[in-house]
Amino acid sequence: MQRRPVGIAAILALAIIGDAHSRTVYRCVRDATVSLSTAPEPGSKCEAKTLDENAAMLPNLWGELGVFSGTLYEWKAPDGVLIYTTRRMPGATPYLKFTVETPKGSPAHEGLGQLGKPRLDAHAPTFRKAAKARKVDDAFLRAIAHAESGFDDKAVSPKGAQGLMQLMPDVQRDYAVTDPFDAAQSIDAAARHLRALLARYKGDYALAAAAYNAGIGTVTKYRGVPPYAETIAYVTKVQALHARYRQAMKLPPLDPPLRAAQ
């Protein structure tokens, strides 16, 4: 079987083979990984997406993941229904290998590219101090920093976010930040802000991350993670980084698991 470079539209087109009138694909999230399927996957949190008739106009359901390779599998579900999915289910048969290049957007914040390895050395004492003082998971705080700026304390986004934690001016005012490029002030303010968000959303890390990215008002408007490509990609990335940092810091996995982005 050869690996064929194809666009995301082609993969989704394959996902709807078999029913000329069906234009629904499921975006499924499990363990901070995203897959596409012709039906909901057992064990995953799935959301149905209706596709346009014109394949060239199909939405990017994976998010901003850069160039990556995978396999489309053919799998017979327990109820006998034949399903095509990009996740390897037990007993699934490889149907097609593919390489996909997801679109590059214009994120509000820096650092929305590839995940990269956890960086435990960057401002470690400051993260530990802020996390302990503000009662926030140190791994979550570092995951946000990793996703926002890649630990660059001089970072500035096109939309005005500044510093290591990419604090917007209104957040800086709320937490009396006098120098957004001072790593200690930035980390402490972000820890306080995340603590408030987690309290608001009853410990839901996905909603806290979504509000950090898109604002509390936007999360309230949509009653959950906003349906913005940037925010969905951001939340998915933070979830993956959160899990990686907890593992790197030898912390137990979260129970219950992180809430999936929708």
Helix ranges restricted to H, 88-182:
124-134, 138-149, 169-174
Report the alpha-carbon distance of residue 152 to residue 113 in Å, rounded. 14
Exposure string over 6-36, b if 16+ CB within 10 A, otherwise e: bbbbbbbebbbeeeeeeeebbbbbbebebbb
Exposure string over 47-68, b if 16+ CB within 10 A, otherwise e: eeeebeeeeeebbbbbbbbeee
Report the alpha-carbon distance of residue 86 to residue 97 in Å, rounded. 10
148 is catalytic: yes
Q: Which of 80, 82, 94, 100 is nearest to 17 (CA)?
A: 82
In contact, 11 and 100? CB cutoff 8 Å: yes
Catalytic residue among 41, 53, 74, 148: 148
Note if the bond before 252 is cis, omega within 30 degrees.
Answer: no
Report the alpha-carbon distance of residue 246 to residue 39 in Å, rounded. 32
Residue bearing tokens 């629904």: 24
Report the alpha-carbon distance of residue 60 to residue 204 in Å, rounded. 25
| Catalytically active residues, by annotation | 148
